[in-house]
Amino acid sequence: MAGNNMRDIKRRIKSNTSMEQITKAMKLVSAAKLRKAKSIFDRIQENFNYVSESIEEVFHNADGVPDEYLAGGREIKRTAYIIITSNRGLCGSFNSNVIKEAVTLMENDPGEPVIIAIGSKGRDYFAKRNYEICAEYMLPPEDISFLDVRNIITRPVVGMYNRGEIDRIILVSTRFISTLTQETETQTLLPLEVGEKNLGMPALPYSMEYGPSVEEVFNYLVPKYVEIRLYSAIVESATSEHAARRMAMESATDNANEMINELTMNYNRARQAAITREITEIVGGAEALA
Amino acid sequence: MANTLQLEVITPSKLFYRGEVELVIVRTTEGDEGFMANHSWGVKLLAAGELWFKEAETKKFRVASLAGGFIDVKENIIIFTDAAEWPEEIDVERAKEERRKAEEWLKFPSEDDIEIELARTAIRKSTVRMNVKEGGLKQRQ
């Protein structure tokens, strides 16, 4: 009986050790990927903040912004949700947080939601539950190019918006705050919420010239603005994914270590018990003979 | 001593150029337009075309190709473009190949307006790139 028990423990130690090796390797890979993704993210962040700031500045200061792009410009019946998840699992609650947030939003939305899924985890979840998915992007998010964002996502989505098939575009993604914390974030891409942004945005001291016309400028800038916000959100989400996976793998490695220690202790105890019993048996036997 | 202003050219993947310049010339959708310091403020759309600017330090003109975008003129100028290239980065063979392909498409025009538009844009872009490789359509000193 004791032999059996010991063999069991030994087997569990072995499988835990190999598990620990795997999670450790994955942690190192994620750390390397995180570094790479973060450098791209930082670079984009700097440039894009600039551009979106300058676009926002224009939005508030022009009188000619077409009504349809502004909040309150039309009644909101259908909302499109752009949901950014990852393609791979083993990253803690990264995907489930985003999905949970999106589901809550949709439950509170009386209209029928339209879903644009970026990343297969979100796609699979909503496809299984029979939501309408109008566009999807399944390649690894860190390889996405600006052109892909435009052709696959923004062009059709903004087109639907302009045709009145959808009245609002909401983006659910993960914000990268630090390598230890990531937060789910919801932002409305369209219509533009001017009221909120007027705060802290001083009016421009000079009047602006628009060429060829205000309307054309806005017809160009609005999709561009959506593209920029979306692209940086995708890159940010990829960075968060690696950070989340690194954390998940780190705690998995820690847990495996802890378990191995405990099992080793149990194993030694079982071995010691077996030895003690054998000695008692021998001593007992010798006494009986004497 | 001419006044100078800061020019920044931003593409989706990088900061293409940042520096003090005296004069910036771009192809807007309405034609070539030049901007110097203290220009009235504005936002204009750019067509695929050449970007010229005179660097404050060297007093020399530099040229680059732009693939459309917009220019934001305030105290400083920000150009946001989908793609920008210096002459030495341009692969002429590829540009020629692209133009040839696009011309091929136009020979058998499809019903799709977007496709025709894409082909036209591709022709314009590759032409600009070839011109920039040669040092620009107009020589500026």
What pLDDT, in 10s, does the model give residues B75-124? Answer: 889 898 888 889 888 888 888 888 888 888 787 766 677 777 777 788 88
Averaged pLDDT for residues A92-119? 89
- For residue A199, the model assigns a pLDDT of 47
B22 vs A73 pLDDT, higher one: B22
| A209-211 vs A79-84, strand pairing mode | unpaired
Question: A148 Cβ partners below 8 Å, 6+ apart?
Answer: A137, A139
CA distance B2 to chain A (A): 23
B43–A210 CB contact, under 8 Å: yes
CA-nearest residue to A59 within chain B is B43
The mean per-residue pLDDT over the stretch A7-16 comes to 92
Q: Which is it for strands B77-81 and B5-10: parallel, antiparallel or unpaired?
A: parallel
Q: What is the 3-state secondary structure (H, E, C) of A251-281?
A: HHHHHHHHHHHHHHHHHHHHHHHHHHHHHHH
Tens-digit pLDDT profile for residues A209-244: 787 787 888 888 888 888 888 888 888 999 999 999
Flag the least confident range among A46-50, A174-178, B55-59: A46-50
Residue A188 burial class via C-beta count within 10 angstroms: exposed 0-12, middle 13-18, buried 19 and up = middle
Which of A48-52, A264-268, B125-129 has the highest mean predicted lDDT (pLDDT)? A264-268
Distance between CA B77 and CA A31 in Å, rounded? 38
Instruction: List, in order, residues 6 or more apart from A15 with CB less than 8 Å away.
Output: none
* Secondary structure class of B114 (helix, strand, coil): helix
Q: What is the pLDDT of residue B25?
A: 92
CA distance B32 to A131: 49
Among chain A residues, CA nearest to B27: A211
The ipTM estimated for the assembled molecules is 0.76
Q: How far is residue A128's CA from residue A121's CA, in Å, rounded to a whole number?
A: 11
Nearest C-alpha neighbor of A106 from the set A79, A133, A135:
A79
Domains and CATH numbers, chain A: 2-15+248-289 (1.10.287), 25-245 (3.40.1380.10)
CB proximity A138 to B under 8 Å: no
> DSSP string spanning B33-82?
EEEETTPPPEEEEEEEEEEEEEETTT--EEEEEEEEEEEEESSSEEEEES
- Say yes or no to pLDDT of B40 above 60: yes
The pLDDT value given to residue A257: 95
Residue A18's SS3 state is helix
Answer yes or no: do B43 and A217 touch at CB < 8 A: yes
Percent of chain B with pLDDT over 90: 14
User: How far, CA to CA in Å, does A63 sit from each of A59, B59, B61, B73?
Assistant: 8, 39, 37, 18
Residue A64 identity (one-letter amino acid):
G
Residue A95 has pLDDT above 50, yes or no: yes
| Chain B residues close to A204, C-beta within 8 Å | 41, 74
Structure tokens at B141: 């000193």
CATH superfamily for domain B5-85: F0F1 ATP synthase delta/epsilon subunit, N-terminal (2.60.15.10)
Give B-chain residues touching A221 at CB under 8 angstroms: 43, 70
**Domain locations along chain B:** 5-85, 88-133
Given a cut of 70, whether residue A40 has pLDDT beyond it is: yes
Q: Kindly determine whether residue B44 and residue A210, on different chains, have CB atoms separated by under 8 Å.
A: yes
- A57-70 pLDDT, tens digit per residue, is 777 766 666 667 77
Q: Distance (Å, rounded) from C-alpha A220 to C-alpha B76?
A: 21
A217 contact B CB<8A: yes
pLDDT number for residue A196: 47
Residue A282 buriedness (CB in 10 A; 0-12 / 13-18 / 19+): exposed
Q: How far is the C-alpha of A179 from the C-alpha of A242, rounded, in Å?
A: 9
Q: Provide the percentage of residues in chain B whose pLDDT is more than 70.
A: 93
**pLDDT surpasses 90 at A258:** yes
Tokens at A54, concatenated: 């300058």
